[in-house]
């Protein structure tokens, strides 16, 4: 059932909005050099941090379609009735969401990094920081999607929740991307893993609470 749920969520993501966050990420990355001007050194210096801010804003877009449609349509109830614990539903949704978000975003970071004139070492660090950090971002997105499902103005509320909670991730991810040592990457990995470990329980509890 879990495997079927992951495949279903992936199918829905790729036939629906999976491309939107990626296009959004690229658009933000294109806008920044226009705003900052053609100072190659400055662009290369702010590049990793700016790409991470772009990744964060892109992570906000899919939140509304992650949990709420399934809550409103009774899919979450039916999964529970088929013996799938709400926590397990959340795990499946995190996996499916990362698969439809992480690899595409990492691929889109390549052309974006070129816009900022990052050298190959900096590019590699940004890609690694995205690979590690998008796991935590996907977990956070599902957690927030579950917590805001069914609420009025859930989209804006999700932004208010996502950005502050993502700050630790942002700090260490852009520190590593901007030339910080392996310690920054380890801390980013620890935060990402912490989010992945916490999210199924928080999202499961939120799904249950939304039923009452």
Partner 1 sequence: MSALLRFEGVALMRGGRLLFEQLDLALEPGSALHIGGPNGSGKSSLLRLAAGLLHAEQGRVEADPAALADDHVALDRELPLDRALAFWARSRGNGAMTAMGLEALQEVPVRILSSGQLKRASIARVIASEARLWLLDEPLNGLDRDGAERLEAVITEHRASGGGVLAASHVSLPGAWQRLELGR
What minimum distance in Å lies between the beta carbon of 212 and partner 1?
Answer: 7
Selected from 36, 40, 72, 114, the binder of partner 1 by CB under 8 A is 72
Q: Is 63 exposed, middle or buried (0-12, 13-18, 19+ CB in 10 A)?
A: buried
Is 80 an interacting residue with respect to partner 1 (CB under 8 A)? Answer: yes
| Dist. CA 44–CA 93, nearest whole Å | 35
Work out whether 103 is an interface residue with partner 1 (CB under 8 A): no
Give the CA diameter of the chain. Answer: 59
Q: How many CB atoms lie within 10 A of CB 179?
A: 12
Total residues contacting partner 1 (rule CB under 8 A)?
A: 16
Task: Give, as ranges, the residues between 1 and 60 that touch partner 1 (CB under 8 A).
Answer: 4, 8, 12, 15
Q: Which is nearer to partner 1, 4 or 121 (CB)?
A: 4
* Binding segment (CB under 8 A) for partner 1, from list 76-84, 114-122, 181-189, 191-199: 76-84
- Does position 151 interact with partner 1 (CB under 8 A)? The reply is no
**Residues in the chain, how many?**
212
By CB under 8 A, residue 82 contacts partner 1: yes
Q: Count how many Cα atoms sit within 13 Å of the Cα of residue 131 in the half-sphere of its side chain.
A: 10
Distances, alpha carbon 83 to alpha carbons 1, 2, 76, 89, in Å: 9, 11, 11, 10
Q: Which stretch binds partner 1 (CB under 8 A): 74-82, 90-98, 135-143, 161-169?
A: 74-82
Q: Which residues bind partner 1 (CB under 8 A)?
A: 4, 8, 12, 15, 72-75, 77-78, 80-83, 211-212
């Amino acid at each position: 059932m879990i495997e079927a749920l992951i495949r279903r969520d992936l199918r829905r993501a790729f036939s629906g909005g999976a491309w939107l966050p990626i296009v959004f990420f690229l658009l933000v990355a294109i806008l920044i050099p226009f705003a900052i001007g053609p100072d190659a050194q400055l662009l290369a210096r702010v590049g990793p941090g700016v790409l991470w801010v772009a990744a964060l804003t892109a992570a906000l877009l899919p939140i509304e379609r992650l949990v709420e449609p399934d809550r409103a349509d009774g899919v979450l109830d039916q999964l529970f009735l088929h013996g799938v614990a709400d926590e397990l539903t959340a795990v499946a949704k995190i996996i499916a969401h990362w698969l439809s978000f992480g690899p595409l975003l990492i691929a889109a970071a390549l052309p974006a990094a070129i816009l900022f004139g990052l050298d190959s070492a900096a590019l590699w660090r940004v890609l690694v920081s995205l690979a590690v950090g998008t796991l935590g971002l996907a977990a956070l997105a599902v957690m927030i999607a579950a917590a805001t499902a069914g609420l009025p103005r859930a989209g804006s509320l999700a932004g208010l929740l996502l950005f502050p909670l993502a700050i630790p991730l942002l700090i260490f991810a852009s520190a590593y991307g901007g030339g910080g040592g392996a310690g920054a990457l380890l801390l980013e990995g620890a935060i990402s893993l912490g989010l992945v470990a916490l999210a199924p329980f928080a999202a499961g509890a939120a799904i249950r609470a939304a039923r009452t």
